[in-house]
Amino acid sequence: MVPGVRLRQIRERLQLTYRDVEQTSIEIASRRGRAEFIIRISRLADIENHGVVPSLHKLYTLSVVYHLDPAEVCGWYGVPLKEHFADSVSHPVPVTHLIASPSALKIPLRFDPAFDPRRTEFLSRMVERWGQFEGSLLNGNSKSCYGYIGLEDRHMYPLLRPGSVVLLDMAQRRVENTGWNNEFERPVYFVEVRHGYRCGWFFTDGNHLILQPHALSHCPPQAWRTPEEAEVVGRVVSVVMRLTDA
């Protein structure tokens, strides 16, 4: 269905007139301090009847007035906001950085009765039913965020390959200098520095935070003064990583 027609049907179902929408949009614009949120009657008629695509601010206003999900309305116009995470990781960049969380995650809801978690299995055959887990439930957790390992960042290669996506626990910001038995147990941290981000093994020496790259990466160590030049974002607690080049 044409987006404008769908919006008109929703407005009529809510028993709202053009004048109602215009007046509410004026109130939204006043509250937000931006005139771009206002939808005049003539513009609303163009959106509904002549295929005019609403601007970003007006799309927000329509979503508010009609009690719709803005991401869903964007999808009506061919902008798949809920796919931004998948598209984002499909177009990698050279440097390490933080990335926005996915809007939803696909998770298994029911396993085959023969599934034994103690054995290595082909997961796709063991899951009887998949479902969508709303990413907003994760996004609302202020203690978690995502990071991306840039294509030119080889500090933790081969333990963390360039292009990996990591989940960060922002509650764990205290760097541990000891307490692990091997390199797989050693904490990996995501750190914001003056000109970007670094992900790897770190240790503290006085007021200096020192990056110790993986021995096989052939990258030199780096050091920054804290907190003036470096700040720990969080500890890496999970990773999605390709084992072959994209």
Instruction: For residue 103, count other CB atoms closer than 10 A to its CB.
Output: 19
CB 138 within 8 A of CB 105: yes
Q: How many helices (H) and strands (E) does the chain have?
A: 8, 10
Domain 92-246 annotated CATH 3.30.70.1900? no
Instruction: Please list the residues that pair with 224 across neighbouring strands.
Output: 209
Reading the block at residue 218, the tokens are 């052939």
Structural Rg of the chain based on CA atoms: 24
Between CA 242 and CA 168 the distance in angstroms is 18
In the DSSP assignment, the letter for residue 115 is: -
CATH node for 3-76: 1.10.260.40
Reading the block at residue 76, the tokens are 């009506």
Residues 111-140 have pLDDT tens digits of 778 777 777 666 666 777 766 554 444 544
State the pLDDT at residue 99.
Answer: 85
Number of Cα atoms under 13 Å in the Cβ half of residue 159: 20
In the DSSP assignment, the letter for residue 110 is: E
Instruction: For residue 115, count other CB atoms closer than 10 A to its CB.
Output: 15
Reading the block at residue 154, the tokens are 């080889």
Residues 48-70 have pLDDT tens digits of 999 999 999 999 999 999 999 99
Average pLDDT over every residue of 19-37: 97
Residue with tokens 């939803």: 104
State the pLDDT at residue 199.
Answer: 95
Provide the residue type at 61 as one letter: T
**Residue 44 three-state SS:** helix
User: Domains of the chain: which residue ranges?
Assistant: 3-76, 92-246
Taking the model in full, what pTM does it have? 0.68
Average pLDDT over every residue of 167-188: 94
State the pLDDT at residue 105.
Answer: 61
160-to-93, 213, 240 alpha-carbon distances in Å? 16, 11, 9
**Residue 5 three-state SS:** helix
What angle do helix axes 3-13 and 41-49 make, rounded to 10 degrees?
120
